[in-house]
Amino acid sequence: MRVTHRMIANTVIRNVNRNLAQMTRYQDMLSSGKAINKPSDDPVRIARIMGYQASLQQNKQHQRNIDAAMSWLDTTEDALSGMTDVLQRARELAVSGADGPKPPESRRAIAKEIDELVGVLVQLANTSFGGRHIFAGYQTTASPFSRDKSLLATEPTSVVYHGDRGEIRWEVAPGVEVKGNIDGEALLMDTRIFEYMEDLIAGLESDDLAAVNTALGNLSAGIDIILDHRAALGAIRNGLELTMNKTTLEELNITSLRSKLEDIDFAETFMYYSTMATLYTASLSAGARIMVPSLIDFLR
């Protein structure tokens, strides 16, 4: 095969360009810190990196959900703690009102204080978190409880519930959801806590010791119900803390796996870059020497 100067020149240029492309690739890797800068560099590896990235995004969303659920539970626990205090105070007053020798005027005074406690209980039942009422089911934008004493003429209680039984859930792991809310109807209306307190008020105002004693026993049962809900919330919160720890460890593991595929070893990459820079310089030097001589140079 006849070797021409054009063939030599093309070969030299092709080799120089190949060395320059390799040197530029390592230069891009050093400047970005990434082993892959475009999908065509390594389609298989980029697919795995994208898979890890999707897993990280899902993991972070689960962490945000857990944070939201724990904040909601903490607010609920504070409200339930306040309700427990209210009912405990009402029970103490009921015990005092059940004292036989106490005059009717004293019982009516106790009834007024318990009436105020009913108002406090309504306020606690309307507790909100981030503008959302925690005991309203799905109807979180409006106060779930209101009180109208005129209803006592026809209804067993003056308190009305305006929410629903909606369950607010958070996904805290793939396929795992946690219910974080307690609807007010199940908590306070089905358990007849408001009704029992107003029965106590009526018994004190009418100086009916039998009614006062009955209401006293009912209030004790109501306190136990609130405490049961608090215990259940505590168990859920403990589970969320364990899930958060697990999710955080998963984030670290996934990040490490992605880094091994995506990030470069700077020392190794710099060594390759230096090698290619030397090769590029050498190819330029060799090419300049090869391409200069021609037939014209020997005919002079």
Tens digit of pLDDT at every position of the chain (300 positions) = 666 667 766 777 777 777 667 777 777 776 666 767 776 767 888 888 888 889 999 999 999 999 999 999 999 999 999 999 999 999 999 999 887 788 889 999 999 999 999 999 999 999 999 999 999 999 999 999 999 999 998 999 999 999 999 999 999 999 899 998 999 999 999 999 999 999 999 999 998 989 999 998 999 999 999 999 999 999 999 999 999 999 999 999 998 888 787 767 667 767 776 777 777 677 777 776 666 655 555 555
- Give pLDDT, residue 293: 59
Q: Residue 11: what pLDDT?
A: 72
For domain 82-242, give the fold. Answer: f41 fragment of flagellin, N-terminal domain (1.20.1330)
What is the pLDDT, as a whole number, of residue 67? Answer: 95
Handedness of CA 9, 14, 15, 20 (dihedral sign): positive
As a whole number of angstroms, the distance between CA 147 and CA 66 comes to: 34
Q: What residue spans define the domains of the chain? A: 82-242
Say what the pLDDT of residue 265 is. 66
Beta-carbon contacts of residue 295 (< 8 Å; ≥ 6 apart): none
pLDDT at 5: 64
Q: Which stretch of DSSP H or E encloses residue 179?
A: strand 176-179
pLDDT, position 184? 94
Reduced to 3 states (helix: H, G, I; strand: E, B; else coil), residue 171 is strand
Q: Residue 272: what pLDDT?
A: 72
Residues 224-239 as b/e (b if ≥16 CB within 10 A, e otherwise) read ebbeebbeebeebbee
Please tell me the predicted confidence (pLDDT) of residue 165.
94
